[in-house]
Amino acid sequence: MRKLLAATAAVAMGLAVGGGVIPSTAQAQARTGSGYTPAPIAWGACASAALQARGAQCGLLTVPLDYARPGGTKIKIAVSRIKHTSAEADYQGVMLTNPGGPGGSGLTLSVLGEYVPGGVGGDYDWIGFDPRGVGSSQPALSCDVEYAGYNRPFYVPVSKSLERAWLTKTATYAKACDRAGGALLDHVKTTDTIADMESIRKALGAKQINFYGFSYGTYLGQVYATLHPGKVRRMVLDGNVDPRRVWYDANLDQDVAFDKNMDVYFAWVAKYDEVYHLGTSAKAVKAKYYATLQKLRKAPAGGLIGPDEWNDIFVSAGYYVFGWEEVAEAFAAWVNEGDAAGLKGLYAAPGEPGADNGYAMYLATQCTDVKWPKSWAKWKRDNWRTYAKAPFITWNNAWYNAPCRTWGGKVGKPVTVNGKKAPAILLISETEDAATPYSGSLEVRKRFPRSVLLEGVGGTTHAGSLNGVACTDDVIAAYLDTGALPKRVHGNRSDKQCEPVPVPDPTAAAAKSLSAAGGANRAPLRDLVRIR
């Protein structure tokens, strides 16, 4: 689940706990959080200006580092709350949220309720939180803030020296995280976050939770509903992780899907050749992309943007239609005018405190959720085979995940997702979602027999609900209002079809029309993507 995440300032801290064999009862408590009763959250002011403006409350929830030893070392989870605005008679409980990742900061996602049509979001207390190790939670993991710096070795290991350079670089990062994280690395699995969600529920005094999860957040929802089906009231899961593929295989699936989406993007750029002047066919634009990448191996754009940074910048176009114009503008400015300013603006500068927090926690969770292949021969064989048919992101993705080969945390076993006891939930996916391919949503639908799947037909945007598509957002609003869902149909297919998030139109006439229409919800679209 490779995910580009905005980093939050963090301080890495090592923790120490006692050893010993965990008995089976303690193991069960560790996976479910059932053996710990937290103190209430002491609510206060939020540091975020956006949360302050909305009257949000923030606080820290104290939880065990290891739920099997609830009396041992404690850590703190940063939580935010925007309380319901409806009459008490219309109040529908707490709504926990997660933006994905893993490693994504969700503290500000408590604002999500304002994007639900018809004021329905006002019926809930919206809860944002930074998962353990992330963002404002304490401690927060940071291993090497310079790791994603400029002019890294070329992703594609076309020589032995490049292969050795990346093997060394990724193993060194894993060691740095081991030193920085200490005992924390043994307790940041998906099941640990599920136990924290249970602690949040208890601290809020709620008998059940509602939950809205994007991307990796859908996996949290799946696992929570498996372990605590009676604690689930309503769930919206958008961009569904395939529980069969966690996590090594899921990344290979992404590689093929991203390549397909980039062809869609290159075709869009070609459609607007009068704007970008990069070619009149998808083939021509694609060729220019790869030719430029090779040139950057010898002479980085602006002295900073090499082939890896170039590839990273374009990855967002495979995730979402949001930002297509900005990427194309930077592409055109460099190729046609030699101006690297746009590229530099789209590639976040390394070196800020905690800059690698999201990435470090992505690895910390995925590397220990399940056993990864240790054999480099297998990685090499699988990725070269995939690269042959899908070159765009394959080696980028391989090295992104390669620290898992030598990761220091204790590896667990993933929960077998089973939604037979879960209530009716709403699943959402666009047909060509690359980060979480559509087949994953079909699999989750099978495992949750009361679920309903809404499909954004033909769309390439990942986890893009509540972005102004009335067909989709009105279903969400109706479900959160009354629990009503479209009728579930027979067969291995979606239950309701909607149009996808629309692609942008960069022509002057379209921009003028958009401005005249008061933005046509453009600001909320950008705001929500930025928040997530």
Strands (E), 83-205: 94-98, 125-130
Residue from 110, 142, 215, 429 carrying the catalytic annotation: 215
Which residue in this structure is represented by tokens 């404690």? 74
Radius of gyration of the chain (CA): 23
CA distances from 352 to 137, 147, 263, 277 (A): 18, 11, 34, 36
Residue from 462, 473, 494, 495 carrying the catalytic annotation: 462
Distance CA 465, CA 212 (A): 11
Residue from 196, 433, 473, 495 carrying the catalytic annotation: 433
Amino acid at 149: G
Distance CA 134, CA 365 (A): 11
CA atoms within 13 Å, Cβ hemisphere of 71: 0
**Of 317, 309, 8, nearest in space to 153 by CA:** 309
Token pair recorded at residue 71: 């009396």
Please confirm, yes or no, whether 110 is among the known catalytic residues. no
Strand order, beta sheet including 94-98: 57-64, 74-82, 125-130, 94-98, 209-214, 232-238, 426-430, 452-456, 496-498
Dihedral (CA of 4, 5, 9, 11) sign: negative
Dihedral (CA of 406, 410, 416, 422) sign: negative
Please confirm, yes or no, whether 187 is among the known catalytic residues. no
Distance CA 404, CA 397 (A): 12
Please confirm, yes or no, whether 215 is among the known catalytic residues. yes
Q: Counting Cβ atoms within 10 Å, is residue 195 exposed (0-12), middle (13-18) or buried (19+)?
A: buried
Distance CA 34, CA 202 (A): 10
Provide the annotated active-site residues: 215, 433, 462
